[in-house]
Amino acid sequence: MMRWGMPGPEQYGGHPVTNIRNTRSPHWRRWLGPAHRCLVPVTSFSEWEDTKPKKTAVWFALSEERPPFAFAGIWTNWTGTRGPKSNPVEGEHELYGFLTCGPNETVGAIHPKAMPVLLSTPDEMDT
């Protein structure tokens, strides 16, 4: 088991980052090689639609049957405090986040900035 949230850039407070958009940043380069790649298994994901008075979660899956697929992720070992404020855990943690890309037409209608990198075939996952 790993914990969400890669160590964020220090210039932005080092806060945990789950959605990694700018892989050209020097901060992320050290984790982009094969040794730090991982698959984040999912059956669906959501983006928030800007509805009023509250935002609405819109769910996406490969099909109505919601077969498993994966997000392209990266991971690292990290030492510090992680976990919920009500029960923080000090020590060594395995952390992960997932890579994002420009949205496809379906996701872009709800979230125009980015979407997870989706891997749905064995060949994509092996790469």
Number of domains in the chain: 1
Residues 6 or more apart in contact with residue 33 via CB below 8 angstroms: none
- The reported pLDDT for the residue numbered 1 is 84
Percent of the chain with pLDDT over 90: 91
Write the pLDDT tens digit of every residue in 58-97.
Answer: 999 999 999 999 999 999 999 999 988 899 999 999 999 9
Q: What separation, in Å, do the N-terminal and C-terminal C-alpha atoms of the chain show?
A: 22
| Residue whose entry in the numeric block shows the structure tokens 């949205």 | 103
Structure pTM? Answer: 0.89
Write the pLDDT tens digit of every residue in 16-56.
Answer: 999 999 999 999 999 999 999 999 999 999 999 999 999 99
Per DSSP, the residues of 71-101 read: EEEEEEEEEEEES-TTS-EEEEEEEEEEEEE
Answer whether residue 6 is part of any domain: yes
Answer whether residue 25 is part of any domain: yes
Which domain CATH number covers 99? 3.90.1680.20
- The reported pLDDT for the residue numbered 28 is 96
